[in-house]
Structure 1
Amino acid sequence: MRQRLAFRVETFRLAAPFRISGYVFEGSDVVVVELTDGDHRGRGEAGGVYYLGDDAANIVATLDANRAAIEGCESRSDLQQLLPPGGARNAVDCAMWELEASRLGQPAHALAGIAEPRPLVTTFTLGADDPAKMAEGARGYAQARAIKLKLTGDLDLDLARVAAVREARPDAWLGVDANQGFAIGELEALARGLADLGVELLEQPLARGREADLEGFDSPIPVAADESALSLADMASLPGRFDVVNIKLDKCGGLTEALDIAREARRLGLGVMVGNMVGTSLAMAPAFILGQYCDYVDLDGPTFLTEDRSPAARYDGGKIWCPDEVWGSPQAVAAGA
C-alpha cells in the first residue's frame, strides 16, 4: 500500500532568549511529518540547520516539491538517494523508522540493534551571558552531572565565563561549544585555559572551511567537529584535525545516516557525540537511540521550551530517558492514536 504524507509547522517558544556566537534564539519552528499506511503511522520532527538556511519554510518547500516521490519511496535507503541531508530528510526518515516499527510490531530501538536502551547522562547547556549569570544558571542545574557552555569568541570573557561556572559547579563535567567563534591564532591560549579549568571537550572552535588550520595542533583536550561535520561525506576529512564528531539528525538527514556516521567514526578512531537543534521530545527520541552508541550526549533541547509534547522525555538525575511511547513504539503509533 502506498504511504501518504502529511506535514505541518509548529512553533515552540523558548523560556528565555538563548545566546551563542553570532545568534540569539527566542523560539523554535519545527516541521512534523506523518506517514500513514492503512493502520500504521510514523512521525518525525525536524527544525533544520539555521546556519545553512535550512529552516521550516525550506523544509516545507522540499517536502512539497517531493511529495509524490516520498509517498512512493519504499525504503530508508531509497530516501537517502531521493533527498539530500537536512531537515526534510530527517523528518521523513524518522517517520519511516516509526512506520516500520508499527508494521513489524517491534520498537524502533530494536530495529537499530538495541535490545534494552539505557538512560543516558546528558549535558545541560548554558547560553553565553555575563559570567555571574552563567554561574547562577550552573547552580540552578542542580541535577546536572554534565554542563556545556556556549562561548562567543571573546577569549578573555569566555575564559571568565568558564571559570565562574567551574567555581559554581566544581563537581560537574564541563564542555564548551565555541560555535566557530575563534581563529587558529587564539586556539592555543583558549585550549590551555580551558584545560586548566577542567574542561573536557571543545566543540567547533574554528569556522567551517578552516579545518586544515587544525592540522598539527596539539590540543590538551579533545576537539569536536560540529559545523565541520554535516554528513557522512565530511567524515574522511576529520582524522588528524578533530577527535570527536558531533552528530545531529537535522544536519545529516535522519537516524539512518546518523547510525552510519557513528559506525564510520568508530572505524576512523574518532569519538562520537549526539547533539540537537533544540526541538521537542519527538526530535530527541530518535537521537536517544543514536545516543546509545555515543561517548557524549547533548539532548537537552526540550528543557529550553515553555512546553513540550506529551508523552515526553524524562530528565532525572542528570540523565535523559525516552520511553518507547514518546516515539517508536508499535502500540503508540497506530493511525489515529
Structure 2
Amino acid sequence: MKLSAHVEKVPLIHPFHITGYTFTHNDLLVVKLQDGTHVGVGEALGVYYKHDTPYTMLEQVEALRPTLEHGITRKELLELLPPGGARHAIDAALWDLEAKQRDMPVWQLAGMEPPRPLLTTFTLGADEPEVMATEARGFEGVRAIKLKLTDDALNAERVRAVRAACPDAWMMIDANQGFTRETLASVLPAFVEARVAVVEQPFPVGKEDWLDGLDCPIPIALDESIQDHRDLGLAVGRAQVINIKLDKCGGLTEALILAHKAQEMGFKLMVGNMGGSSWSMAPGFVIGSLCTVVDLDGPIYLSADRTPAVSYHDGHIWCPETVWGGPVAA
C-alpha cells in the first residue's frame, strides 16, 4: 500500500457567513491509498469549531503512514483515530479502494439500496435580508432552502424575506449555536408563519438542557451537539432529528453505525456537510438514502470542483459512481 496526502486550498465564489465565522475558501485534505493499480481517494475539511483543521489532520495522517502502508481495515481505523476529518479522509479512501478492488460500488458494499437522486437543501449564509432573498432567487431549481442565522436582531426579517422570494420551497434554519431560549422565543412566531420545517442547533454545545421543556412546535435537529453515536443520549427527549456529518463523526463507517443507532432510538436523520468538493459529497450521498433531510450542496459554492463531479438538477443531487466509490471503469 502506498499513501499520499496533501492539502488543497479552493476559494469560495463568495464569502459565507455563519454565527461567529466568515469563510472565504475551503482547505481540503486529500488522502490517496494505492494498492497495485487501484487507487482510493478521500477528502475532508475537518471540524473548524473543534480546531480540527486540514493541516492538523495531515499531521495525524502522516503519523499513521507506516500503519496505513502496511495495510489497515476500516474497523481498525476506528480504534486508531478519534472522530474527525483525518479519520474521515482515510476511511473514504479505504471505501473507494475496496470498491475498485472488488469491482463493487460502495453502496453495495455497505448493504444499501441502489442510489437515487436526493432532494438537497441549498444553503444561504447569514447576510442582510434582501441579500439573502436575492441569493435564494438565484438558486436554479431550488426546492429546499437552509438559512444560516446569527446572533443579531435581523433573523425574523431574514426568514420573511427568503420566504417571500421562494414561497413554495421547503425551509429550515440553522443557528449554529447562536440562540438563547429568549432569542429563539422572540423569533419563533416568524418561523411558524414562514413554515420553517426544522430548527437546527439553536443552542450552544453544553447547553442541551436549554431544550428541556422548550415550547417549540417545530422539530429540532442537533448538529454540533452530536459528534458520533456516543453522544446520542444528549438528544433523547430534546430533539427529533440528528445531523450526521462525516467530517465530525469520522467517516462513512461510523456514520452508518450512528445512523442505525439513531433510527433504533426513534430519531429522524439528516446528512450535512462542512463544505468541500464532490469527493466530500460522495460518501455523504451514500448515507443520504437513509435521511429525511439532505444538505449536500458544498460544491456549488466553490470556484472549482472535481472532474467528474456530482450534478444538481431540479433541486436534487446525483452522484455517479465515476465520481467516487464505484468499480473501475471498463
Other structure's SS at 2:322 match? helix
- The equivalent residue for 1:271 is 268
Unpaired runs of 5+ residues, structure 1, are none
Asked if structure 1 preserves the Cα contact closer than 8 Å seen for 2:246 and 2:284, the reply is: yes
Pick the aligned partner of 1:75 from 73, 76, 79.
73
- The equivalent residue for 1:88 is 86
**Residues in 1 aligned to 2:195 and 2:70: alpha-carbon distance in whole angstroms:** 52
Q: After superposition, where does 1:1-337 map in structure 2 within 5 Å?
A: 3-154=1-152, 156-332=153-329
Shift of residue 73, structure 1, vs aligned partner: 4.3
CA displacement 1:71-98 (0-9 Å, x = unmatched) = 2343111100011100000000000001
CA displacement 1:200-255 (0-9 Å, x = unmatched) = 01110100010011112132111110110111111122111111111100000000
CA displacement 1:163-216 (0-9 Å, x = unmatched) = 000011111001111011011222223333311211001110100010011112
TM-score by structure 1 length?
0.95
**Residues in 1 aligned to 2:25 and 2:259: alpha-carbon distance in whole angstroms:** 30
**Residues in 2 aligned to 1:69 and 1:211: alpha-carbon distance in whole angstroms:** 38
CA displacement 1:35-83 (0-9 Å, x = unmatched) = 1111221110001111110111111111111211222343111100011
**Residues in 1 aligned to 2:268 and 2:138: alpha-carbon distance in whole angstroms:** 29
Asked if structure 2 preserves the Cα contact closer than 8 Å seen for 1:216 and 1:240, the reply is: no
Unpaired runs of 5+ residues, structure 2, are none
CA RMSD across the alignment: 1.2
Shift of residue 152, structure 1, vs aligned partner: 0.6
Other structure's SS at 2:236 match? coil
TM-score by structure 2 length?
0.97
> Between the two proteins, what is the percent identity of the paired residues?
51
More moved, 73-82 vs 320-329: 73-82
Other structure's SS at 1:45 match? strand
More moved, 90-99 vs 134-143: 134-143
Shift of residue 14, structure 1, vs aligned partner: 0.2
**Residues in 1 aligned to 2:97 and 2:223: alpha-carbon distance in whole angstroms:** 29
**Residues in 1 aligned to 2:28 and 2:201: alpha-carbon distance in whole angstroms:** 25
CA displacement 1:253-303 (0-9 Å, x = unmatched) = 000001111111111111100000110001101100010110100000000
Q: Where does structure 1 differ by over 6 angstroms across 4 or more consecutive aligned residues?
A: none
**Residues in 2 aligned to 1:303 and 1:258: alpha-carbon distance in whole angstroms:** 24
The letter of the residue matching 2:126 is A
